[in-house]
Structure 1
C-alpha cells in the first residue's frame, strides 16, 4: 500500500468536505433567523435576553460590527485624506483606543485587534476600505460545544482569567453588533470537532475578522 498516495487522497476528500461545510456554515450565518443585533450601549439584561435565542449546543458563532459612522465621522472632524497611509494609521489608533479603553478594561484577558487583518479591510493600493462602505465588518469568529454559554462569556464575564471579549465593559459606546450562528450535529467523535475547527480556520482566513487570538 502506498501510504503517501493514501494521505493525498485523504487530504483531497477532507478538503472537499471542508468546502461543503464552509458553504453551509456561511449560508447559516446569512440567515436572519440565526442572527441577533444590538448596540454595545444597550441594557445588559436586554442583550442577555437576545442571546436566549441561541441554544447551548455545539456550533460556530460569528460577530460583526458596524463602524461606518465611526470612520466617516473621524474623517470629517479631522479633515483627513481617507486614502493616505497616515489616515489609516490614525483610524487604527482610534480603533485600538476604543477596544483597549483603559478606563473600563482594567487589564482583563481579552482578544486584541490583529493588525494584518485590519489591513485586509483597509487597503491603499488599490484603494479598498470596507470601514467606510460596508455595513458590517467581520469582528470575531469562534466554535464551542456550548454556544450560548460562550456567547454570554463574550458579552459579560466577571472572571478576568476567562479569555473572552467582555463586550459589556464597552457599554459607553454605541457601535452596533450582529451575532450569527450555525449549529451542528452532536460531535460525539473528537475528529469531527477537529474537522469543524478546520472549517472555522478556513472561514477566518477568508473573512479576516479584526479581533482574534489566532
Structure 2
C-alpha cells in the first residue's frame, strides 16, 4: 500500500534526475512519516510524536519550506482521518512559501472546498472534492479515511459514508479513527432515536477502548 507520505513526496520530487544519488534524508523522512502515521492511527501518541519530530527534523535540514509543508500536511491528513483535524496549524506558517498544490490540499483537509481547484489535489481525492466520486471508490484505506474526514469537515458526509469510514478503520485495526467514527455513528443513532443501534455501537466503543 502506498502511503500518503510516499505518494506526496514522490510527486514533489519527480523533477529530480533519475541517476542522482538519493540523499539519506529522503528515505529517513519518508520512513519516519510512515511510522508516525501507523503509530498515530493505532493510538500510540507518544511514539507518533517522536516519529513526526524525526521526520520534520530531516526535512528542515534541506531548508525547503515545501518539504516541511509536506510533513505538516501528512500529519494533518492523518489527524483528519481520525476526526482530529480542524485548522492545519503546523502548515500555516509555511503556506506562503509552499506550492499551490500544498495550499489546495490544506483547504481540502479543512473542508474549505468552495472555489477549490480539484485538479491540484492528489489523484485519489479529486473525485471527492469535485463531487464526481464516492468515498467507497477511494482504493487506499488511509486515503479513504482522509477523504471521509474532509467530507465531514465540509458538511458533505452521509450515513453510508460513516459506515464506510467505520468499516475501513475497523478492517485496518486503526483504533484511533475507529473510535472517532464510532462516536459519529453513535451521535447519528441517538439523533434518529435508534436506541438498539446506539447500544450496539456503545458496546463496540467499549471493546475498542480496551487494551
How high is the TM-score relative to the length of structure 2?
A: 0.26
Higher strand proportion (structure 1 or 2): 1
Higher helix proportion (structure 1 or 2): 2
Of structures 1 and 2, the one scoring higher in RCO (CA 8 A, sep 6+) is: 1
Higher Rg? 1
